[in-house]
Amino acid sequence: MKQNQPDLSLLIPCYNEEENLEKLFSHLQLVLNPLNLDYEIVCINDGSKDDTLQQLINYHRQDNRIKIINLSRNFGKEIAMSAGLDYTTGKVVIPIDAELQDPPELIIDLMAKWREGYDMVYAVRKSRQGESWLKKKTADYFYSIIGKISVIPIPPNTGDYRLLDEKVVKALRQLPEKNRFMKGLFSWVGYRQAAIYFERLPRYGGKSSFNYWKLWNFALDGITSFSSIPLKIWSYFGVFISLIALLYGLFLLLKTLIFGIDLPGYASTIVAILFLGGIQLITLGVMGEYIARIYEEVKGRPLYLIRETYGFEEQ
């Protein structure tokens, strides 16, 4: 065990969160102070374009338990969390979003479940307030699809808000991949896991940086990271098309033997060519998604770069 190891490390990725920080830290103090825990709050500034970094520095100067990792640019939330996990030192780590959609009061329940002997306690959303019908539906479809095709069970309606024992954090630090679907990685490491349920709140302030294009790419990362079925399915589809072509060829042969030679149809030929051409392009696209991820991995670039840190000088 580390000397002067805190009981709890809160991990907070921040991207343009200047509107939320005052409410966030005041809310965290109300929850954490009565618990009589030795804690640290590790904030990762993920290339914010507003005043997030300066506000974080001001809070650090007021309370040295608030520590800052300032990344060299915006790397995305998944990598920002990974950077935070590399720097946390607590017996348990709890990632939490800065916009207060995940209520800090749940920390009490997460800690209580951990004391029962669980290594990971994840928070499942019973509802998603403040989100559009389309976003909720697409999220439901995504979790349904990845739940069916992934070899690793990934809990539905579960975000990054969870408690991780230090042994789980050490295991996550050993995973080097660049395309990081953290919800899948949390499940992949295993250990003894339990769920608690909560009502997710609307954002306190600011606007989410996750538009539908980013969510689409996020879904692709999740599917390609934890399932090879999109690659395999085209082999089966190719066999199916070949059988259809064989049956159609036998039909034409019998028709010619019985009724004689008929003029071939131009329209049906064009339709068949366009259909098969479309299938080939889709197949190449799916292969391209996997190859692009292989390309990112073999470059061997570091996962992230840090411009500066605050509060880690003694580590």
Own/partner pairs for 140-147, CB < 8 Å, 24+ apart? 142/219, 142/222, 145/223, 146/184, 146/219, 146/222, 146/223, 146/226, 146/227
Range with lowest mean pLDDT among 66-70, 114-118, 120-124, 179-183: 179-183
The number of angstroms, rounded, from the C-alpha of 9 to the middle of its chain's C-alpha atoms is 20
What mean pLDDT is reported for the chain? 77
> What confidence tens digit (pLDDT) does each residue in 50-105 have?
888 888 988 888 888 889 899 988 888 888 888 888 888 888 898 988 887 888 88
Which pLDDT band holds residue 177 (cuts at 50, 70, 90)? confident
Q: Is the pLDDT of residue 315 over 50?
A: no
What are 294-305's pLDDT values in tens digits?
777 777 778 888
Fold of 8-227+302-310: Spore Coat Polysaccharide Biosynthesis Protein SpsA; Chain A (3.90.550)
Residue 23's pLDDT is 84
- Average of per-residue pLDDT across 151-169: 82
In this predicted structure, the answer to whether residue 204 has a pLDDT above a threshold of 60 is: no
CA atoms within 13 A on the CB side of 148: 6
The token pair that represents 289 in the structure block: 């998604």
The CA distance from 223 to 149, in Å, is: 8
User: What are the tens digits of pLDDT across the range 235-282?
Assistant: 677 667 766 766 766 676 676 667 665 556 655 666 667 677 777 777
- The pTM of this model reads 0.67
Instruction: Report residue 139 as tokens.
Output: 């999220």
Domain boundaries for CATH 3.90.550.10 within the chain: 8-227+302-310
